[in-house]
Amino acid sequence: MNNMKYTVAVIGVGVIGGMIGRELTRYGIKTVMLEKGNDVALGASKANSGIVHGGYDPEPGTLKAKLNASGVEKLFNTALELNVPIKRNESFVCAFSEEEKEHLDVLYKRGHENGITALEIIDGDKARELEKNLSESVVAALWVKNAGIVCPYELTVASVGNAMDNGASLVTDFEVTSISKNGDAFEITSKDGRTVYADYVINSAGAYSGKIASLVGDDSIEIIPRAGEYLLLDKSEGERVSRTIFQVPTKEGKGILVSPTVDGNLLTGPTAAVVASPANKETTADGMNKVNTLALKSVPTVNFRNVITSFTGVRSSNKDGDFIIGESAACPQFINVAAIDSPGLTCCVSIAEYVIDILKGIGLTLEKSASFNGKRNDPHFFRKMNDDEKNEFIKANPAYGRIVCRCEGISEGEMRYAVRTNPPARDLDGVKRRTRAGMGRCQGGFCSPTVMKLIAEERGIGKEQVTKNGGGSYIVTEKL
Ligand SMILES: Cc1cc2nc3c(=O)[nH]c(=O)nc-3n(C[C@H](O)[C@H](O)[C@H](O)COP(=O)(O)OP(=O)(O)OC[C@H]3O[C@@H](n4cnc5c(N)ncnc54)[C@H](O)[C@@H]3O)c2cc1C
């Protein structure tokens, strides 16, 4: 791949880089997406709340407010096109005192200023009528009717896959460590000495976007990493609430939520704590206690004995509190898409379109490509079939008849498909994010050895070369 020349290089492949890559292929632009990890969606796009935020929260006049307002419907439409599960489950922002109730008025007004009208303030009784497990202490709620839930890593995988199906290249294990100008083109070099060339660079490296900007002499971006810890509960808790239940936001953020996920689990969290490095992804006893206590304040019947896993996501915040999207003042044709903290997931499509407008504005000729196909095959087609259809399908492809992940009911066929489809899964966690194998109650305890064997067969490598999540995370060393 050395010396490959592209029109646009996208550095960092989370949901933002993926959506920008996809949008570029809509115009037939020769695009490369460069990712330091061995897969996509390994940063904030892997570990967040997965909420499609209604748009009442950002300060009016900010880029966040504008892109949130336009982003909600764009995201719903795009997720449907890409066959990514998304649901308009609505949300409640709950007030527990008269003082907090006044804050709901502020949010309501702010929402209207941002152009969001699908809002209503209701009293505690009405809220409990709609959500029977809501706490008796809730005195009022802001009912956000345009809000939803989506699977963030599936969305990322799907956007990157669709970009690749439309001609974009993905290069993983490519940690950008230097960028220089060679004539008109950027020369982008990885830690292991590989180089690509591009006329334009998009910096969508999430928590590391400040570091990437500084490679071209732009020291204007200071990312403040803020960790958020979560507890994820088994599907037996999945119907505890149908809407996403927030508390009145504080200076620290949107507070602890209780929400169903699109896959039928119950999610609680996140905390908010500034951390020294974006790599700080540990979960802590303090964090877990905080999530537990505050979630029970909203929904007292949540049974925390049914927690199946905990995880931490790191937000890319900055001092101003707004997204930083634009051509770098220090380096022409280098576009920063930085400080994309919440509601960045909600805004991913509107951000991608905004970046396209910036590129047009600085001279890139963009004409829609007739061959672009924005649709993506449904990777979950098999589990959506009825029994007769499944039987027919299994006759032609018996691998779909062998259930490997018993918790989630995922077959060998679906796992092999995940390793063959763009962007291909390369390790256990990659298969997990694409198929849900290992996401269930046993968290991969039973199926991991078989998944490992399938990955080894599909990739033509030995089992001892299969990793859990790249790097040195090998699972077995040799045959005894
Ligand atoms: C706790 C939490 C909760 C959130 N909840 C919500 C929510 O409910 N709704 C919502 O709308 N938003 C939410 N967000 C925000 C949302 O998750 C982010 O806005 C979004 O995921 C940002 O995507 P990204 O692509 O910019 O960053 P990332 O997903 O972090 O991707 C950046 C990528 O760049 C790569 N990279 C870094 N350095 C290099 C390098 N040198 N070379 C190559 N690649 C590199 C990384 O490996 C990574 O894959 C939440 C965020 C967090 C952390």
455 and 397 in a common domain: yes
Query: HSE (CB half, 13 Å, CA atoms) of 19?
Result: 30
Residue 357 CB burial class (10 angstroms; 0-12, 13-18, ≥19): exposed
Which range, of 204-218, 254-268, 411-425, 434-448, averages the lowest pLDDT? 434-448
417 and 308 in a common domain: no
Q: How many CB atoms lie within 10 A of CB 132?
A: 10
Looking at the domain assignment, is residue 475 inside a domain? no
Q: Identify the pLDDT of residue 2.
A: 52
Q: Which atom of ligand 1 is nearest to the CA of 40?
A: 49
Kindly state the average pLDDT of the residues 73-84: 98
- What's 299's domain CATH number? 3.30.9.10
11 lines ligand 1 (CB under 6 A): yes
Residue 383 has pLDDT above 70, yes or no: yes
Tens of pLDDT, residues 398-413: 999 999 999 999 999 9
410 and 371 in a common domain: no
Residue 374 CB burial class (10 angstroms; 0-12, 13-18, ≥19): middle
Kindly state the average pLDDT of the residues 343-356: 98
- What's 201's domain CATH number? 3.50.50.60
Residue 1 has pLDDT above 60, yes or no: no
User: What's the token pair of residue 456?
Assistant: 């080894």
Closest residue (by CA) to atom 33 of ligand 1? Answer: 12
Q: Which atom of ligand 1 is nearest to the CA of 207?
A: 30
Residue 362 and residue 332 in contact, taking contact as beta carbons nearer than 8 Å:
yes
Looking at the domain assignment, is residue 45 inside a domain? yes
Looking at the domain assignment, is residue 335 inside a domain? yes
Tens of pLDDT, residues 183-203: 889 999 999 999 999 999 999
In 3D, which of 78, 85, 84 has the Cα closest to residue 22?
Answer: 78
Q: Measured in angstroms, how far is the CA atom of residue 353 from the centroid of ligand 1?
A: 18
- Residue 115: pLDDT band (50, 70, 90) is very high
Q: Identify the pLDDT of residue 442.
A: 87
Q: How many CB atoms lie within 10 A of CB 238?
A: 17
45 lines ligand 1 (CB under 6 A): yes
Q: Which of 150, 208, 259, 312 to mutate to test the pocket of ligand 1 (most atoms within 8 A of CB)?
A: 208
337 and 327 in a common domain: yes
Please tell me the total count of domains within the chain: 3
User: What's the token pair of residue 20?
Assistant: 């920008």
448 lines ligand 1 (CB under 6 A): no
267 and 393 in a common domain: no
Looking at the domain assignment, is residue 271 inside a domain? yes
User: What's the token pair of residue 437?
Assistant: 């194998």
Looking at the domain assignment, is residue 472 inside a domain? no
- This prediction has a pTM of 0.97
165 and 17 in a common domain: yes
Q: What are phi and psi of 173, to 5 degrees?
A: 55, 30
Q: Identify the pLDDT of residue 437.
A: 92
48 lines ligand 1 (CB under 6 A): yes
Looking at the domain assignment, is residue 136 inside a domain? yes
Looking at the domain assignment, is residue 133 inside a domain? yes
Tens of pLDDT, residues 34-57: 999 999 999 999 999 999 999 999
42 lines ligand 1 (CB under 6 A): yes
Kindly state the average pLDDT of the residues 420-438: 96
Q: Measured in angstroms, how far is the CA atom of residue 351 from the centroid of ligand 1?
A: 13
Residue 286 has pLDDT above 90, yes or no: yes
322 and 310 in a common domain: no
380 part of the active site: no
Domain ends where: 266, 292, 314? 314
269 lines ligand 1 (CB under 6 A): no
210 lines ligand 1 (CB under 6 A): no
Residue 355 has pLDDT above 60, yes or no: yes
Catalytic residue among 53, 103, 112, 380: 53
* 21/188 Cα distance (integer angstroms): 17
Tens of pLDDT, residues 101-112: 999 999 999 999
Closest residue (by CA) to atom 27 of ligand 1? Answer: 206
- Residue 252: pLDDT band (50, 70, 90) is low
Mean pLDDT across the chain: 96
Looking at the domain assignment, is residue 326 inside a domain? yes
Tell me how far apart the 2 most distant CA atoms of the chain are, in Å.
Answer: 67
* 359/351 Cα distance (integer angstroms): 12
Q: Which domain holds residue 441?
A: 382-465
Q: Measured in angstroms, how far is the CA atom of residue 285 from the centroid of ligand 1?
A: 24
Q: Identify the pLDDT of residue 3.
A: 67
Residue with tokens 């909420």: 51
